Amino acid sequence: MNLKAGLLGGGSWGTTVAALIARNAPVTLWARDTAIVEEINTQRTNKKFLPEAKIPENVVATNSIKEAVAMKDVIVMGIPSQAFRSVLEQIKPHVRPWVPIISLSKGLELSTGKRMTELINDVLPGHPAGVLTGPNLAREIMAGYAAASVIAMEDAVIVKELQKLFHSGLFRVYTNHDVIGAELGGVLKNIIAIAAGMGDGQGAGENTRSAVITRGLAEITRLGVAMGGETQTFAGLAGTGDLIATCTSAQSRNRTVGFQLGKGRTIQEITEEMFMVAEGVKSAPAVMALAEKYNVHMPIAEEVFQVVQDKSTARRAFRGLLRTVAGAESDPG
């Protein structure tokens, strides 16, 4: 392809997506950490985030935001949700008009409750905004395992072109016009993954985990549809697919947080040891604010929120869920 891509973020998923794009087009990757930049450029590795992966020669790393985005044809944002707006502000003077900006983040801005594509529209109006999301565990993809993802944008022409940029080999990329649903699927499943992890940490069993995933999907879908997403999106890769991967994999940061909570550790102890962001912890307050705003009942998300805010424990949370009266499966609860 003749496109040139700029990717912001040197974490595990940002580096992985840069490696995927590099099969189709040259990529300039920006990272804050000078050691990571040097390591990528000289050793073709990023051992802090992807210990066993080799990074293609077509990926060039830099500490310069300007170098990463100037004269690029597409910008990919692999930035945690709480830093997303500030990085958009930094790239604003250097991005050419109308260049598409794609988010990889699966979080909400805590102060506003906004999705990342909404932040793109706020800070860089006129730039087509989209999201790449799905059941994508970075280490498996870098190891060459088959995976599938969704790129969601409102513009049907641009999304088809960007599909070609991300799609490669065993990494299949599907298109979707439902940006709201695709983005919310990625955000909300993190909360349910913490709940599933809390059950696993307490030895609750596979039946319990299946129930949490299924009832969690019902909660995700209710809020997502209330906010303008489409029901079928939550039944696809961005909803059910991402939810299953995140709730069952030991590689999932959010499930890991829940698992440790289930073992009786505090949220402060757990997060102090993590050098990668578990977006569910950060987004939980914003998710509950949205549930209240749209009058959507989310008992699993509510229990997770109480635990990650240190207002409850994983054991108490599960007792609360077990005491919830079961009605018809279609009921909001």
Kindly state which CATH superfamily the domain 188-323 is placed in.
N-(1-d-carboxylethyl)-l-norvaline Dehydrogenase; domain 2 (1.10.1040.10)
Distant-in-sequence, close-in-space partners of 287: CB < 8 Å, separation ≥ 6: 108, 187, 188, 191, 223, 298, 301, 305
pLDDT of 278 reads: 76
- In angstroms, rounded to a whole number, what is the distance separating the alpha carbons of residues 41 and 55? 9
Separation of CA 220 from chain center = 15
> What is the structure's pLDDT at 61?
98
- What pLDDT, on a 0 to 100 scale, did the predictor assign at position 108? 93
Q: What is the model's pLDDT at position 327?
A: 56
Cβ neighbours, 10 Å, residue 101:
25
> What are φ and ψ of residue 171, in 5° steps?
-100, 100
Asked if 168 contacts 161 with a C-beta cutoff of 8 angstroms, the reply is: no
Local structure of 82: helix, strand or coil = helix
Res 324: pLDDT: 64
Q: What's residue 88's pLDDT?
A: 98
pLDDT of residue 268: 87
Q: What pLDDT is attached to residue 1?
A: 63
Distance CA 152, CA 182 (A): 7
Identify the H or E element spanning 174. Answer: strand 171-176
pLDDT of the residue at 206: 92
What are the extents of the domains in the chain?
5-177, 188-323
The predicted pLDDT at position 68 comes to: 97
What is the per-residue pLDDT for 12? 94
For 305, residues 6+ apart whose C-beta sits below 8 A from its C-beta are 191, 284, 285, 287, 288
Say which CATH topology domain 5-177 has. Rossmann fold (3.40.50)
Q: What is the pLDDT of residue 34?
A: 96
* pLDDT at residue 307, rounded to an integer: 93
Can you give the pLDDT at residue 319?
79
- Spans of the chain, pLDDT less than 70: 1, 275-277, 322-333
List, by residue number, the catalytic residues.
189
3-state secondary structure of 204: coil
Helices (H), the chain: 12-21, 34-43, 65-69, 81-91, 116-123, 138-142, 156-166, 179-201, 206-226, 231-234, 242-248, 253-262, 267-273, 279-293, 299-308, 314-323
DSSP-based three-state secondary structure for 212: helix
Tokens of 208: 């319990």
